């Protein structure tokens, strides 16, 4: 995050959550996979700024790292120097805690090291249990969670404490304001204080449209490191990304597969590109995102899909592929935060309540 000034502070606690369900042998396998699996270990990357907060004006850029087995993972450098994997796993709508724990453990086995959850998802405990059961070092995993709407600094700090307790950690790598509602400035003031105390390595926002994002940047001490926002072939958000680049804010995409809407997995344009590269449609979409320097956090509960999604670093799209994908823009998928009915629903929403709106809309 770009620091303009400095002046807030606060404190945090942490406790435990749900018990681990897995055997010692599985833990040993996960610990071993951190060294020889598909993703280069974050623990060995201290020289890249993964293990500490540092302020810098560096543009968010990609860096590709290769482990001794030849497997690669790309990282995006945030505006404070922290590195984040360009591909992670989201756990939206995986409400059963045992199932969510199993999903996260599978992802860690495959090689994922970026896990994205939220207070609103009501599954932080399961994420924490999976990480604790994995045997991986804390610094090897990049944990993101998001703030459920609050209206005071104290309430925001308390909510952060609760997330740490559920996740079984004393810091998180990325903490976001989940929705542009409530007292955003009180929320950001509290989050900024936690960042300065090194309780959070990077801070950001989610679902902020260009106008809201510009206003937010111009009226706060710390510029967000990330704006997590929908992005997929049907809603490409070129203009939003341009604004984010102007403010040196990284783009992190949720719903990269449009939650399966509009028959995305049988789309003719994407099918032809997938056939050309001998890849799946999902792999084409993820590759398209990372070539735009957009962090992707697809959600899946199937281990075989996790493996498939991970295999996107061995090919490139050509100019014609990108031109074809550009024709798919419709702009009509996703939650509309400029719709009064949507804002009313978000303000009335309870933790764990599914995002459901009128019409054919998607939610985050």
Residues with catalytic roles: 121
The DSSP call for residue 20 is P
Which of left, alpha, beta for 38 (phi over 0: left; psi -120 to 50: alpha)? alpha
Under 8 Å CB-to-CB from 184, ≥6 apart: which residues?
177, 216
- Which residue reads 């995050």 in tokens? 1
Residue 355: closest CA among 339, 340, 334 = 334
The number of beta carbons lying within 10 Å of the beta carbon of residue 151 is 13
3-state helix, strand, coil in the chain (%, to 5): 40, 15, 45
Using DSSP bridges, classify how beta strands 114-116 and 142-147 pair: parallel, antiparallel or unpaired.
parallel
Strands (E), the chain: 62-66, 72-77, 83-85, 89-90, 114-116, 142-147, 172-177, 200-206, 226-230, 250-254, 295-296
Q: Are 233 and 281 in contact (CB under 8 A)?
A: no
Three-state DSSP state, 287:
helix
End-to-end CA distance of the chain: 24
Q: What are φ and ψ of residue 114, in 5° steps? A: -110, 115
């Amino acid at each position: 995050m770009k620091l303009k000034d400095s002046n807030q502070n606060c404190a945090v606690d942490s406790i435990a959550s749900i018990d681990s369900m897995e055997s010692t042998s599985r833990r040993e396998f996960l610990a071993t996979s951190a060294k020889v699996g598909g993703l280069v270990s974050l623990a060995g990357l201290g020289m890249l700024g993964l293990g500490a907060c540092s302020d810098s004006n560096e543009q968010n850029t990609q860096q590709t790292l290769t482990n001794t087995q030849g497997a690669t993972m790309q990282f995006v450098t945030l505006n404070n120097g922290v590195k984040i994997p360009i591909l992670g796993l989201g756990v939206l709508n995986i409400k059963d805690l045992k199932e969510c724990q199993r999903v996260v453990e599978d992802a860690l086995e495959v090689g994922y090291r970026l896990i994205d959850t939220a207070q609103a998802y009501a599954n932080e405990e399961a994420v924490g249990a999976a990480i604790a059961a994995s045997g991986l070092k804390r610094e090897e995993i990049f944990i993101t969670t998001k703030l459920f709407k609050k209206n005071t600094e104290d309430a925001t700090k308390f909510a952060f404490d609760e997330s740490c307790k559920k996740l079984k950690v004393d810091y998180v790598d990325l903490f976001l304001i989940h929705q542009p509602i409530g007292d955003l400035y009180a929320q950001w003031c509290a989050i900024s204080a936690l960042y300065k105390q090194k309780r959070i390595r990077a801070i950001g926002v989610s679902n902020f449209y260009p106008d809201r994002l510009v206003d937010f940047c111009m009226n706060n001490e710390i510029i967000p490191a990330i704006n997590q926002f929908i992005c997929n072939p049907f809603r490409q958000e070129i203009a939003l990304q341009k604004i984010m680049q102007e403010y040196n804010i990284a783009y992190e995409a949720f719903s990269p597969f449009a939650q399966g809407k509009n028959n995305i997995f049988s789309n003719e344009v994407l099918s032809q590109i997938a056939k050309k590269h001998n890849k799946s449609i999902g792999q084409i979409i993820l590759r398209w995102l990372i070539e735009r320097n957009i962090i992707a956090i697809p959600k899946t509960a199937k281990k075989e899909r996790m493996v498939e999604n991970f295999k996107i670093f061995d090919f490139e799209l050509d100019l014609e592929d990108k031109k074809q994908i550009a024709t798919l823009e419709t702009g009509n998928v996703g939650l509309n935060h400029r719709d009064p009915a949507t804002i009313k629903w978000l303000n009335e929403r309870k933790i764990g309540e599914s995002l459901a709106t009128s019409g054919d809309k998607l939610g985050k």
